[in-house]
Structure 1
Amino acid sequence: NTKNFCVLLALRILGKQLFFFPCLINIDFYKRKMLTRQFSIFQLLLLVVVISSTTTADNSIAKNAGKMSGEDEKFRILVTHPQVPQEAIELLQRDCEVTVVQSLPPNRSEILEKAKGVHAFLWGGHEKLNAEALDAAGPQLKAISTMSAGIDYVDVPELKRRNIPLGHTPTVLNDAVADIAVGLLLAAARRFHEGRLKIETNNWETYTLNWMLGQDLRDSVVGFYGFGGIAQAIAKRLSGFDIDSILYTTRRRVAEEIEKEYNAKKVDFDTML
């Protein structure tokens, strides 16, 4: 008999709302594709794997997705940060038993203590996610998802060794970072911080012609060290300021259509400077 996995996904919608999406994944595909690399679907917040011994997909699988196969025990989830939105906690509680770490900043000893016997982690913050945490949970741990784009604090090889899928949010912050970058660029060009300090100290000068003029963004050549998703989001915003062109330096040239869209050209680092 071919076993199937019923996967329960809590997906991030517009950065706030969540919903569950049950689906069936063949065990061979699961082992071949999902367990050998980072798992990221629709910027998932949480993935809970439910093992089913049935040979067909029927309604009872989706209805009982929050329970262990052949048992009455609900899936147990540990949320490792107390500031995870309450809407997410309540949604998870519909089908799962949820435990939330209460210390702030999260105390590692509390995390390890409450990890015992859980089937999934929703890992908030940047506390090390390593063999110690996995051992504290136990062999029944099925899946982990972080609430971050970066995973430098995660021991990914150890998760692969244990066949535990990992979810994260690699592009969810692109727009926010791009907004801040453009804001800082404008602030530097137009000397916002200097002007604010002059106002606060009552030193605003009204008798000079060229004081605090700053620099135009219009017709500027903007340089990027790297030209991935965040850089392209910045370039898209800068197009509204009528910049002249973009120079970027990367190990690999981006697609020609992307260069045309942003009037960008790949150059070496010294040329860009």
Structure 2
Amino acid sequence: MSKPQVFVTRKLTNEVIAMLETVAHVSVWEGDTPVPRAMLLEEIEQADAVLTMLTERVDEELLRRAKKLRIVANMAVGYDNIDVAACKRRGVTVTNTPDVLTEATADLAFALLLATGRRLTEANRFLLAGEWTSWSPYLMAGQSVYGTTLGIIGMGRIGEAVARRAAGFNMRILYHNRNRKEEAEAKTGARLAGLDELLQESDYVVLLTPLTEETRHLMGGREFALMKKSAVFVNVSRGGTVDEAALYEALVSGQIWAAGLDVFRQEPVPLDHPLLSLPNVVALPHIGSATIQTRDEMARLAADNIVAVLSGKEPLTAL
């Protein structure tokens, strides 16, 4: 009997490819850019498994071409690029990579909070442009972090990890979530709050919800209007959770003080995007989980899921 076929949509480590080769023939898109859609459609016809990134859409068009597909292993915790319901109708398992990226993403979220609140990238540009000519008492003055109030929207694994970091900064922590998280409350002193209360009282608001129909444009003009004029908004979830036009207006009008963004509705974000023109925006290229160690673990977990399914076993992290 011939081995199953696995298609990997981005170049990964030799270790991960070797893991997959224990159970299958493996083909890999070697480019540094997303695999061309035409190639993905062609490869999926013979694939028993595909290891995807957030840049690949697994939709009805793709699934109609899949003759043997048994598993889609997404190398991300989010899976808004995958039509999970359509996969399940066809008996295709979908897996993600939770847990292994929690701490790295929480580190990035808190780093973005600090960088935005304290104007670190703006101050760096100021210095490099040769504009630092003397000391001044309010030169590049930012917002305090220690002892302020943090609002976390979406208290999943990453939200809880951000709360642990905030506790070390003696922050008062509010969170908004579908379910109460008593263990997180006990560890960090966080308190469950309604969304409006959280927005009105927080000095920093960190958005960490998955992108669903319910959370699309969760943060819009009404929500930004509730925030303090000195408040900082940080998004480390998905770009679609925010009405970017409303955020731009809130920043330009002074309705909120600044924003730190790791994600955008369109990625890569166009350089002429209005938000990139603002000095009070710290923008990053979706690097929440981007540490070498974390990305290695994510790739290994995705590969483990494929090996399990192709070996007739249960996947580790099925949706």
Whether contact under 8 Å (1:249, 1:268) holds in the other structure is: yes
Q: Which residue of 2 aligns with 1:132?
A: 61
Q: Which has the higher contact order (CA 8 A, sep 6+)?
A: 2
2:113 pairs, out of 182, 185, 188, with: 185
Identity %: 32
The reply to whether residue 121 of structure 1 matches residue 47 of structure 2 is no
Q: CA deviation at 1:173?
A: 2.8
Partner of 1:91, secondary structure, is helix
User: Which residue in the other structure is 2:190 paired with?
Assistant: 264
Cα offset, 1:73, TM superposition: 0.9
Contact 1:78 1:98 in 2 (8 A): yes
Instruction: Give structure 1 regions of 4+ aligned residues with deviation exceeding 6 angstroms.
Output: none
Structure 2 residue 78 is the aligned partner of structure 1 residue 150 = yes
Higher strand share: 1
Does 2:40 correspond to 1:111? Answer: yes
Aligned match for 1:162, one of 69, 74, 90: 90
Which of 252, 259, 269 is residue 179 of structure 2 equivalent to? 252
**In structure 2, distance between residues paired with 1:91 and 1:102:** 18
Tell me: CA distance 1:119–1:199, structure 2 relative to 1, closer, same or farther (3 Å): same
Structure 2 distance, partners of 1:201, 1:177, is: 31
Aligned match of 1:75: 4
Larger helix proportion of the pair: 2
Letter matched to residue 174 of structure 2 = L
Shift of 1:193: 2.3
- SS at structure 1 position matched to 2:40: helix
In structure 2, relative to structure 1, the CA distance for the partners of 1:209 and 1:78 (3 Å cut) is closer
In the TM superposition, what whole-angstrom CA distance separates every residue of 1:144-175 from its partner, at most 9, and x where no partner exists? 21112221121212221122211111333322
Q: d(CA) in 1 for partners of 2:194 and 2:109? A: 22
Amino acid at match of 1:261: K
**Structure 2 length-normalised TM:** 0.56
Mapped to 2, the partners of 1:184 and 1:142 lie a distance apart of: 38
Query: What is the CA deviation profile of residues 220-245 of structure 1, one whole-angstrom value per residue up to 9, with x for unaligned ones?
Result: 121222322211111111222232x2
How far apart are 1:114 and its partner, in Å? Answer: 2.3
Aligned counterparts of 1:174 and 1:146: Cα–Cα separation in 2: 16
1:238 aligns with 2:177: no
For 1:7-31, what per-residue CA distance to the aligned partner results, in whole angstroms no more than 9, with x for missing partners?
xxxxxxxxxxxxxxxxxxxxxxxxx
Distance in structure 2 (CA, Å) of the matches to 1:202 and 1:107: 43
CA distance change for structure 1 residues 265 and 164 in 2, over 3 Å: closer, same or farther? same
**Pair 95,248 (structure 1): closer, same or farther in 2 beyond 3 Å:** closer
TM-score (norm 1): 0.65
Matching residue of 1:88: 16
Which has the greater radius of gyration? 1
Give the RMSD, CA atoms, in angstroms.
Answer: 2.2
What do the CA deviations read for 1:172-230 (whole angstroms, capped 9, x no partner)?
33222211221122122322123212211222243433433433322212122232221
1:69-93 CA-to-partner distances (Å, cap 9, x unmatched) read: xxx21122122x2323232112222
For residue 100 of structure 2, what is the aligned residue in structure 1? 172
Deviation at 1:125, TM superposition (A): 4.0
- Opposite residue 231 of structure 1, the aligned amino acid is G
| Residues 149, 172 of structure 1: 8 Å contact kept | no
**Which letter does structure 1 place at the counterpart of 2:154?**
G
User: Residue type of the partner of 1:249?
Assistant: H
Code of the aligned partner of 1:233 = A
Q: 2 CA distance for matches of 1:116 and 1:250?
A: 40
What does the per-residue CA deviation read over 1:99-154, in whole Å, with 9 as the maximum and x for residues that have no partner?
2234543112112222333322222343221233233231x332221112221121
Q: Which runs of 5+ in 2 are unaligned?
A: 201-319
**3-state SS of 1:227 partner:** coil
CA distance in 2, matches of 1:137, 1:168: 20
Pick closer, same or farther for the CA change 1:137–1:226 going to 2, 3 Å: closer
- The answer on whether the counterparts of 1:123 and 1:144 sit within 8 Å (CA) in structure 2 is yes
Residues 1:189 and 1:89: Cα distance change in structure 2 (over 3 Å)? same
Local SS of the residue matching 1:202: coil
Partner secondary structure for residue 194 of structure 1: helix
